[in-house]
């Protein structure tokens, strides 16, 4: 098994590509050890000293470190991922589910605007963010402000504010005149 690694815009996060499906659909964000109960793979990764967070995507695993040098913890992470897939154990526990989009908020009168915003996020924003080892989801729309949740390498990334304000906000303003601002949740 050959696992590729890619840098992300967040220096504390690396993207690992095992060359096979990780999650069939959705994403799963485990920002701490207690959240890892959802995934045997994440539990194994949290056993590596220095792992602060794990994010699972369709074909990648993003790992965030607490401190230290990647050269010291990267071999242990690669070993944990390889060992997990070689055993044939499930990636997520049977009773666990990928992250859902529950808790969205917007006025019924804005349903058409929200549908356009969601389509733009799904088709233009999420694929680019996934390339960087993260995910971004729509959470709400109120008074011209779009609220988005950033996960994986995007959470805590130094360039995430620029991504939100310059990239996503400009894109949404261009296609949806009702959008005045984009904010993270």
Counts of helices then strands in the chain (DSSP H, E): 6, 8
Which residues neighbour 64 within 8 Å (Cβ) at sequence distance 6 or greater? Answer: 10, 12, 13, 51, 52, 53, 54, 55, 153, 155, 156
Q: What percent of the chain has pLDDT over 90?
A: 51
- Three-state helix/strand/coil letters over 105-128: ECCHHHHHHHHHHHHHHHHHHHHH
Please check whether residue 185 is in contact with residue 149, taking contact to mean a CB–CB distance below 8 angstroms: yes
103-139 per-position pLDDT tens digit: 788 999 999 999 999 999 988 888 888 877 778 889 8
Bridge partners of 62, per DSSP, are 15, 55
Write down the pLDDT at residue 96: 63
Radius of gyration (Cα) for the chain, nearest Å? 17
Q: Which CATH superfamily is domain 4-87 in?
A: Scaffold protein Nfu/NifU, N-terminal domain (3.30.1370.70)
Write down the pLDDT at residue 134: 79
The residue extents of the domains of the chain are 4-87, 108-184
Write down the pLDDT at residue 158: 63
- Tell me if the pTM is above 0.85: no
Question: Which CATH code is given to the segment(s) 108-184?
Answer: 3.30.300.130
147-167 per-position pLDDT tens digit: 988 887 666 666 666 777 778
What is the band of 64 on the pLDDT scale with cuts at 50, 70, 90?
very high
Write down the pLDDT at residue 72: 92
What is the band of 62 on the pLDDT scale with cuts at 50, 70, 90?
very high
d(CA 153, CA 53): 9
């Amino acid at each position: 098994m050959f696992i590729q690694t890619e840098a992300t815009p967040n220096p504390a996060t690396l993207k690992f590509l095992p060359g096979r499906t990780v999650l069939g659909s959705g994403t799963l964000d485990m920002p701490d050890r207690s959240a890892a109960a959802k995934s045997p793979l994440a539990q194994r990764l949290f056993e590596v000293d220095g792992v602060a967070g794990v994010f699972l995507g369709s074909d990648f695993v993003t790992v965030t470190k607490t401190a230290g040098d990647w050269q010291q913890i990267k071999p242990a992470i690669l070993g944990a991922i390889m060992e997990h897939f070689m055993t044939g154990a499930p990636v997520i526990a049977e009773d666990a589910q990928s992250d859902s989009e529950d808790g969205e908020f917007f006025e019924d009168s804005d349903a058409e605007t929200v549908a356009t915003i969601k389509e733009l996020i799904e088709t233009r924003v999420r694929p680019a963010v996934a390339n960087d080892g993260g995910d971004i989801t729509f959470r709400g729309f109120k008074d011209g402000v779009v609220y988005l949740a950033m996960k994986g390498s995007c959470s805590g990334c130094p360039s995430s504010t620029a991504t939100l304000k310059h990239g996503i906000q400009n894109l949404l303003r261009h296609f949806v005149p009702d959008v005045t601002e984009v904010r993270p949740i």
